[in-house]
Structure 1
Amino acid sequence: MDSNQTLPQIDLPRDMIHLGIGQPSNHLLPIKELEKAAAHCLSKENSFFLAYGEERGNANFRQTLAKFLTGQYPNRVDPEQLLITNGNSQALDFICTLFTKPGDTVLVEEPSYFLALRIFADRKLNLVSIPVDDNGLVTDVLRKKLETLKPSFLYTIPTYHNPASVTLPLKRRENLVEICAQNDLLVVADEVYHFLNYSDDPPPPMGNWTGTCPLISLGSFSKILAPGLRLGWMHTNVGLIKKMTKSGLIDSGGGFNPFTSEIVNSFICLGFLKVHIKHLKTVYGQRIKVFCDQLRMHLPKQAKFKIPKGGYFIWVKLPDNMDTKSLRQEARKHNVDFHQGSLFSHNKELKNYLRLAFALYDEDVLAEGARRLGKVILENLS
């Protein structure tokens, strides 16, 4: 077995199985369809997409994306509610530029996406955590925190959470929106996994409530098409769109990613995106089944996890006295890797947790990874 046979360009030892990496296998990237979409795009007489572009992003693409989202969401999405981005990382940094200054407080979940925490640290923001339970962000704690805090915004991952895989149910979403409306608190909802559901349909996206409270819903093609496109969108109210398009960055460079967005515009118009997402859901659904079966077989009974209903990740809890940062060093000696729980905590807690991903490898490699990981954990149980 060659564990690197399906890998994109990642600098790993040849026999290393890195169960922490959250990106698609090479063979899941629709190269032929993207080639057809690029040819379709470049065959047009009007090459407007090679200019700086509109402030809100490629108008063709916003029309097409709004139509696509309307077909997936319970409510209509208007093109005027969309601002095109260079992906979620750039979108988060852009939001920090416009809505914060060093020392400002931002609310984050515990756990939260570790690279978002890095972006906030780069901006020298003061992070305050709100716990996540089996139903996502605990809104009662949020309400209590807001009695004494005036944060710049709340960053939340409401659907198929990274890393915890939990989903905020409808009632709690409505409660979150009510709290944030009452406190005029901006919500930044990272919804990149919303379309990757493998069992039940998720609740409506947080973008559903852009007219109820200050809210920016972030979407991206990194998880549903290809991360190298560096293309995403913000879904919010027209007032916030106008505020963001007045930034110096957009004034200088024009709208984000006009050329790539026109290629993806063709990709959607040619009918490729719906087919591709359906294929991803089939592949990932099968990988989850195999991987979770193998984890049950090889991990000790003290390891606890739930089968994810969507997204990319499995969040594993080990006994309280285990430190997964140290465990990770041992795991690497056995050619298996993961991301330790402390990465997902802004104050380096969650030391007995680890995050596993199933998007990168085929079933046979995932099975071997589960076997190696189980062996390491068993050897390190005290």
Structure 2
Amino acid sequence: MKFKQTLPQIDLPLDMIHLGIGQPSNYLLPSKEMEKAADHCLSKGNNFFLAYGEERGNSNFRGTLAEFLTAQYQKPVDPDQLLITNGNSQALDFICTLFTCPGDTVLVEEPSYFLALKIFADHKLNPVSIPVDDNGLMTDVLEERLETINPAFLYTIPTYHNPASVTLSLKRRQELIRICAQKNLLVVADEVYHFLNYSDDPPPSMGTWNNICPLISLGSFSKILAPGLRLGWMHTSEEVIKKISGSGLMVSGGGLNPFTSEIVNSVISLGFLKTHIQRLRNVYRQRIEIFCDQLKKYLPDQVMFKVPKGGYFIWVKFLDGVDTNTFRKETQKQNVDFYPGNFFSHQKELKNYMRLCFSFYDEKILAEGARRLGKVISDNLS
């Protein structure tokens, strides 16, 4: 059975089902809403957003975004605590540029987002891992590590983790803030999945503690609106924002994305973003139910995973000694693919895991992908 899909910027056969792709389906990208929002902002008769902008970002947009985040978090967010970015990848790279030097130590979770690890490698940073369990980053291990090392920052994905899908509990968030406040350690919290909750409500955003310890919460419209916008934000203290906005890049460039920001300002003001996020929740909730049911049906009993409560990913665990790389070529021959667990370990461990994603394909294709994957795995583990 073949399902024709266009895979943007991914060189794969058209009937390949790549269960590693972590982006929205093309049909979930809100082109009509974006068109209306562009008309809305361009019809105001004020084209200030076509000029160089403020270093912190479009002030109209920061005000609207602050109101949106305040309503979502149910805690006040001030526009002066926000700085506009080109999305999380650019923000992470920028943080490395301003807050680290080559050879510095950074703390990362094990597992962690594999492209963040690549950014840290580009800056020649030395990652030290902190393990993750069902309640997120293990703060007792963090405290122990900090007795002997002095890292530049800690990178964490606290809510609906990529790839592990776990969420840092409220108790551990409070512990993390206490520890990092005592050590004056910068926390970089990647919170791009915070609004994509399907069966629970996450704890408060890490950004709400930015007045207690050095902390930068990263948000992005890539997962909740459209990745092609290349638009995100930092939620942090005014002190940190002053340092970042005074950098050469910001002063020379006049801020980031003033035009796109104004369009998304209209997206939020017109109520489209809130409606779109709810649509995503409904779609992804249904995909999770069908995909997980099919995985349970086709994967061998010794293969384990938990149904995600939010985010994009399913973290699949195999028995110790299994290396998922050994059968990846075989799955590719059957036109199904995944990302092996060692991608998400700076030590190239976690070989007995794989990351699956349900955000790109509809239910029918996910079901077929589970069948193909299950057959290859069953044949290799029998």
TM tier, shorter chain?
over 0.9
Secondary structure in 1 matching 2:316 = strand
- Aligned partner of 1:93: which letter? D
- 1:51-70 to structure 2, matched below 5 A, reads 51-70=51-70
Question: Are 1:321 and 2:321 an aligned pair?
Answer: yes
Superposition deviation, residue 24 in structure 1: 0.5
Superposition deviation, residue 6 in structure 1: 6.3
Superposition deviation, residue 8 in structure 1: 4.2
Superposition deviation, residue 285 in structure 1: 0.2
CA distance in 2, matches of 1:199, 1:130: 27
In structure 2, the residue matched to 1:243 is 243
Superposition deviation, residue 326 in structure 1: 2.1
CA distance in 2, matches of 1:273, 1:105: 38
In structure 1, the residue matched to 2:135 is 135
CA distance in 1, matches of 2:140, 2:367: 40
CA distance in 1, matches of 2:8, 2:362: 13
In structure 2, the residue matched to 1:344 is 344
CA distance in 1, matches of 2:82, 2:266: 18
Per the normalisation by structure 1, the TM-score is: 0.99
In structure 2, the residue matched to 1:335 is 335
Secondary structure in 1 matching 2:198 = coil
Deviations 1:84-122 (A, max 9, x none): 000000000000000001000000000000000000000
In structure 1, the residue matched to 2:362 is 362
Superposition deviation, residue 75 in structure 1: 1.1
Superposition deviation, residue 267 in structure 1: 0.6
Deviations 1:15-61 (A, max 9, x none): 10000000011110010000010111111221111111000000000
CA distance in 1, matches of 2:98, 2:184: 16
Secondary structure in 2 matching 1:168 = coil
In structure 1, the residue matched to 2:76 is 76
In structure 1, the residue matched to 2:193 is 193
Secondary structure in 2 matching 1:359 = coil
Deviations 1:161-201 (A, max 9, x none): 00000001101100000000000000000000000000110
CA distance in 1, matches of 2:4, 2:187: 39
CA distance in 1, matches of 2:167, 2:271: 29
CA distance in 2, matches of 1:154, 1:79: 25
CA distance in 2, matches of 1:72, 1:321: 43
Superposition deviation, residue 319 in structure 1: 1.6
User: Does structure 2 retain, via aligned residues, the 8 Å contact 1:8–1:26?
Assistant: no
User: Does structure 2 retain, via aligned residues, the 8 Å contact 1:6–1:25?
Assistant: no
CA distance in 1, matches of 2:364, 2:80: 46
- 1:1-382 to structure 2, matched below 5 A, reads 2-5=2-5, 7-381=7-381
Q: CA 1:63 to 1:33, structure 2 compared with 1: closer, same or farther past 3 Å?
A: same
Superposition deviation, residue 2 in structure 1: 4.8
User: Does structure 1 retain, via aligned residues, the 8 Å contact 2:5–2:15?
Assistant: no
CA distance in 2, matches of 1:360, 1:46: 37
User: Does structure 1 retain, via aligned residues, the 8 Å contact 2:7–2:14?
Assistant: no
Secondary structure in 2 matching 1:171 = helix
Secondary structure in 2 matching 1:174 = helix
- Aligned partner of 2:62: which letter? R
Secondary structure in 2 matching 1:188 = strand
CA distance in 2, matches of 1:320, 1:57: 48
Secondary structure in 1 matching 2:71 = helix
Deviations 1:104-145 (A, max 9, x none): 000000000000000000000000000000110000000000
- Aligned partner of 2:327: which letter? L
Superposition deviation, residue 3 in structure 1: 2.9
CA distance in 1, matches of 2:351, 2:48: 51
Deviations 1:212-264 (A, max 9, x none): 10000000000000000000000000000001111111111111111101000
CA distance in 2, matches of 1:327, 1:260: 43
- Aligned partner of 2:142: which letter? L
Most deviating of 168-177 and 3-12: 3-12
Cα RMSD, aligned residues only: 1.0
CA distance in 1, matches of 2:235, 2:2: 41
User: Does structure 1 retain, via aligned residues, the 8 Å contact 2:64–2:269?
Assistant: yes
Name structure 2 gaps, 5 residues minimum: none
CA distance in 2, matches of 1:367, 1:210: 42
Aligned residues: 382
Q: CA 1:249 to 1:333, structure 2 compared with 1: closer, same or farther past 3 Å?
A: same
Name structure 1 gaps, 5 residues minimum: none
CA distance in 2, matches of 1:271, 1:74: 18
- Aligned partner of 1:242: which letter? K
- Aligned partner of 1:14: which letter? L
Superposition deviation, residue 7 in structure 1: 4.5
- Aligned partner of 1:226: which letter? A
The percent identity for this pair of structures is 76
Superposition deviation, residue 74 in structure 1: 2.6
Secondary structure in 2 matching 1:176 = helix
Secondary structure in 1 matching 2:284 = helix
Superposition deviation, residue 265 in structure 1: 0.3
Per the normalisation by structure 2, the TM-score is: 0.99
